[in-house]
Structure 1
Amino acid sequence: MALAPTIRAKVEDCLENAANPRGEGSNTFTRIYADEAKLTADYFDQALALGIELPPLAGMVVSIKDLFDVTGEVTRAGSRARTGEEPAPRDAEIVRRLREAGAIIIGRTTMTEFAFSGLGLNPHFGTPANPWERDQRRIPGGSSSGAAISVTDRMAEAAIGTDTGGSVRIPAALCGLVGFKPTARTVPLQGTLPLSPSFDSIGPLAPSVGECARLYGVLSGHNVSPQPPSMRPPATFMVLKNQVLEDLDAQVARTYEQTLNLLSDLGFKLVERHSGAVANLAEIMQDGGIVAAEAFEWHETLLGRKGAAYDPRVRSRIERGAKHRAADYIRRLQLRTRLISEWERELTGFDAVLAPTVPTIAPRIGELETSDEAYSRANLLMLRNTTIVNALDGCAISLPCQEPATAPVGLTVIGASRSDWPLLSLAAEVESGIKAVRFKDG
């Protein structure tokens, strides 16, 4: 009988993939912790051999987005403007929790500068290409771009990203991964460079719902076993009809329709509904809305000192926040509170909500790098569906639902605020059904 591979061997495989000159490692990581990862792997291998009980994530190789503090390092957040800033005095709380749980942090991943785009382009440190049709150099999605590619290219087993308007779910959908955006306040933001404190959340990207659940248990500090599907009646889904179905490309539209049919065949109840809360979100998003106002508050001083070092496309989005009056900001926060209440009422009687994660498959990087108009149009489209969940204070998970050997497409399953564990349990059931049935031709 062949011996199981050691944790050290697994780490070395990840490091080899990251160092492959023909791969995407140089565009995926801003820093790799090779020596530390090997030492930690050796420790766990020795502990296993001695029969010592290990923590819950022992030996899991995880990448972290370059938005989280690591003791003694500058958190650059994908920006040249952060070069030379004060190093972090301590680890971010989620980094501390990962280490304590035995995760092996392999490196820090690239991202859209300051997490302010859903496309994943970064002119400073490079943009890793989507695994789908890699020779076409398609976007990975953002802002957690390197997070997704670190997993698809087996440089890590899972990744931790942030999600302010879809930055975990968008790259997961475009790259064929599972991406989970928890209810924001269930995972602490201490030591995470902010974009919009009202909308910011932290979540995992991984190949499966089960791995995301394991990571969420550690990130949130509350390990709960999802309820087995056999103990629940068939779920009832609200199929959201307004806003999320506009401008779908042919691949996404076809795959989404097939997925709904598949779920119906599996016994799930699907009820189409328009949402009044979703219909009225545009008012709090106008001209960047709450996010732009809060982003500018944090960036104002740094922009004054190093504005020329910013990606101009990111800078222009942040600077919209300078035009917002305090009265407008307060009114938008008040409206958001009312819309969250309306959304919670609309969810009564439903286990979750279904929608396409993003409206299109991944566009080519080159097309967006060379045209500000194409960049802005694609960015708005990528963020449109996912931002709904952040604005309405919910939780959501994106599941790959495409046919084999076709472009990745994400199905979003949306839960009410603080329904994270029931949502993960339901998502695992949906994932299992999709994997078992796949799709028929035609």
Structure 2
Amino acid sequence: MTHHKTLASLAVLVQSGQLDPVALAGDTLTRIETHADQSIFVGLTRERAEREAKAASERIKAGRSLGLLDGLPVAWKDLFDMAGSVTTAGSVVLKDNPPASSDAAVVAALGSAGMVSVGRTNMSEFAFSGLGVNPHYGTPRNPASPDVHRIPGGSSSGSAAAVAAGLVPLAIGTDTGGSVRIPAAMTGIVGYKATRGRYTMKGVFPLAQSLDSLGPLCHSVQDAVWADAAMHSLTAPVIRRAELADLSLVIPETIVFDEAEAEVVAAFETAIKRLEAAGVRVRRQAFPSFAEIFELIARHGALVNAEAYALHRERLAGSDAARMDQRVVVRTRLGEKITVGDYIALLYARDRLIHETVESLKPGELIAHPTVPHVAPPVDPLLADDDLFFKVNAKTLRNTSIGNFLDFCGVSIPCGTGAAGMPVGFLLSAPHHQDDRLLSAALALEALIRGEA
């Protein structure tokens, strides 16, 4: 019933009375409970879902629908507080915490739009990996690879897998270094990372507050636009589709193609040719700021490590450290070596590089490059070799983390396949607080990027 349907297609059925929200919720919960991969969700919120679905059904039958999203299912990364259930952040060390007393602000916002929250999705522990591996709750299988267990991407691994597997039409994730865009690219769906601060983080477990942002994972840009509107309490979207003739892209010649798989580059470049043939202006440019980001990290350390260590330092000093994923522990402890001087130097440099990068763009340009330089690799070799794990994790996060450092907003759209027939993502990015313009362009470009126009 819900398999691979968009929010838009489900909304037609629900609003017309052809599909009752109670039946939709029941089917969704059953599909999740009987799905072959039980590591996608860490918990269902059945009583809540049934209550919310019943209320939606009654509203719609009475002609009082709350709008486009009323009665449609949504799943939440296990960082979002949901009243009555425990937010574990993908870790066993938090599982005995008391249940959340209230919803996170964005959970409440989608609830106010009538959405039905069905459960919590798995993730990298404490959101600190771009691969999606979790030794506690299992590593979700990438639905695009039925025969070989490949990573789903992280840290919003379960959110992406839930959508890609057709279990829910929408899941909400967080993105600190690529954690929405990476799993979207690796599983072949759409992932939108909003500008940091576009939605309130109240009730969301943090990783690094100067970098943390939120966003939807779904099947289309249209669905992302609908979710975005509801997440900041609009009753309907206000974003309009851009005109192709008005759109300009710039492709960075710095960093983002380094050691990229040939098939990934080929899929991206083929999409670019389609865009150019349709009249989209495209140029290429070096971005020295991109290279300087990694030079700064080599000299001072990474912001995410400094802030994650500050958040978890007491946990790492106690018995909880032994119960955590040791790869997460190793990365978090790197923050202990970052001095206050280093941290301030990073913040000052970040502000300068944001301005330099924006000033290097021509008016109205969007940045375009592959979301990830490789397709999703198999899980087993990564689990067998920590050095390989860290190397692949760094490469996986590289392209997207540039956007977090520079406070971009971005949307990853599938653009074809690479090695082993695995999905490739095409990342469109814009400077901070230009989300409406980004989404407007993405609406216009999506079919061409996918090769469907």
Structure 2-normalised TM-score? 0.92
1:226 to 227, 232, 239: 239
Pairing 1:373–2:378 present: no
Q: Which moved more, 1:334-343 or 1:303-312?
A: 303-312
CA distance in 2, matches of 1:431, 1:254: 18
The 2-side partners of 1:45 and 1:179 are apart by 29
1:149 is the counterpart of 2:161: yes
- Kept in 2, the 8 Å contact 1:14–1:154? The answer is no
Equivalences for 1:42-441 in 2 at 5 Å? 42-222=54-234, 224-230=237-243, 233-286=245-298, 288-305=301-318, 306-402=320-416, 406-435=421-450, 437=452
Contact 1:283/1:332 (CA < 8 Å) preserved in 2? no
CA distance 1:419–1:387, shift in 2 (3 Å): same
Helix, strand or coil for the counterpart of 2:217? Answer: strand
1:403, distance to aligned residue in structure 2 (A): 5.4
SS in 1 for 2:197: helix
Per-residue CA deviations over 1:243-298 (Å, capped at 9, x if unaligned) read: 00011113211101111111111110101001121121113433751110010111
Go from structure 1 to structure 2 and tell me whether the alpha carbon gap of 1:403 and 1:117 turns closer, same or farther (over 3 Å shift): closer
> Does residue 1:30 correspond to 2:42, yes or no?
yes
Instruction: Give the distance between the partners of 2:255 and 2:311, measured in 1 at CA.
Output: 31
Give the superposition deviation at 1:381: 0.8
SS at match of 2:426: strand
1-structure distance, mates of 2:72, 2:120: 15
> Which residue of 2 is the match for residue 41 of structure 1?
53
Q: Does 1:7 align with 2:21?
A: yes
Q: Deviations over 1:344-375 (max 9, x none)?
A: 10123242010100011100011111111211
What CA deviation, in whole Å up to 9, does each residue of 1:196-232 have, x standing for no partner?
00100010000000111111112233554222334x7
Residues in 1 aligned to 2:304 and 2:263: alpha-carbon distance in whole angstroms: 31
Do the aligned partners of 2:25 and 2:49 also contact (CA within 8 Å) in 1? yes
> 1:138 and 1:319 mapped to 2: Cα distance?
28
CA, structure 1 residues 435+313, in 2 after alignment: closer, same or farther (shift >3 Å)?
closer
**Runs of at least 5 residues in structure 1 that lack an aligned partner in the other structure:** none
Q: Contact 2:409–2:434 (CA<8 Å) still a contact in 1?
A: yes
Q: SS where residue 188 of structure 1 aligns? A: coil
8 Å contact 1:13–1:155 — kept in the other structure?
A: no
Shift in Å, 1:71: 2.3
Give the distance between the partners of 1:134 and 1:288, measured in 2 at CA: 38
Cα drift, residue 56 of structure 1: 4.4
One-letter amino acid of the structure 1 residue matched with residue 205 of structure 2 = L
User: Identity across aligned pairs (percent)?
Assistant: 36
The C-alpha deviation readout for 1:134-180, integer Å capped at 9, x for no partner, is 22011000000000111112221100000000000000000010000
Question: Quick check: 1:284–1:290 contact (8 Å CA) kept in 2?
Answer: no
Question: Gapped runs of 5+ residues in structure 2?
Answer: 1-15
**C-alpha distance after superposition, 1:103-132 (max 9, x if no partner):** 111100000000000000000000110112
- Give the stretch that moved more between structures: 330-339 or 78-87: 78-87
- State the distance in 2 between where 1:41 and 1:85 align: 28
Structure 1 length-normalised TM: 0.94
Q: 2:271 touches 2:451 (CA, 8 Å); kept in 1?
A: no
Whole-angstrom CA distance in 2 between matches of 1:436 and 1:123: 37
Describe the shift of the 1:372–1:217 C-alpha distance in structure 2 as closer, same or farther (beyond 3 A): same
Tell me the number of residue pairs that the alignment of Structure 1 and Structure 2 aligns: 435
Provide the C-alpha distance between the structure 1 equivalents of 2:346 and 2:360, rounded to a whole number of angstroms. 21
- SS of the residue 1:107 aligns to: strand
Distance 1:130 1:424, change over 3 A: same
Residue 402 of structure 1 aligns to a residue whose secondary structure is: strand
**3-state SS, counterpart of residue 166 of structure 2:** coil
In 2, distance between residues paired with 1:243 and 1:388?
Answer: 10
Segments ≥4 residues shifted beyond 3 Å? 221-224, 403-406, 434-438
Q: Do the aligned partners of 2:164 and 2:187 also contact (CA within 8 Å) in 1?
A: yes
The one-letter amino acid paired with 2:444 is E
The question of whether the paired residues in 2 share the 8 Å contact of 1:288 and 1:317 is answered with: no
Supply the distance in 1 between the matched residues of 2:17 and 2:408 (Cα, whole angstroms): 44
C-alpha displacement of 1:40: 1.9
2:416–2:450 Cα contact (<8 Å) kept: no
Are 1:389 and 1:395, in contact at CA under 8 Å, matched by a contact in 2? yes
Once the two structures are TM-superposed, the CA of residue 88 in structure 1 deviates from its matched residue by 2.6
Paired residues of 2:267 and 2:415 also in contact (CA < 8 A): yes
Work out the CA distance in 2 between the residues paired with 1:434 and 1:195. Answer: 32
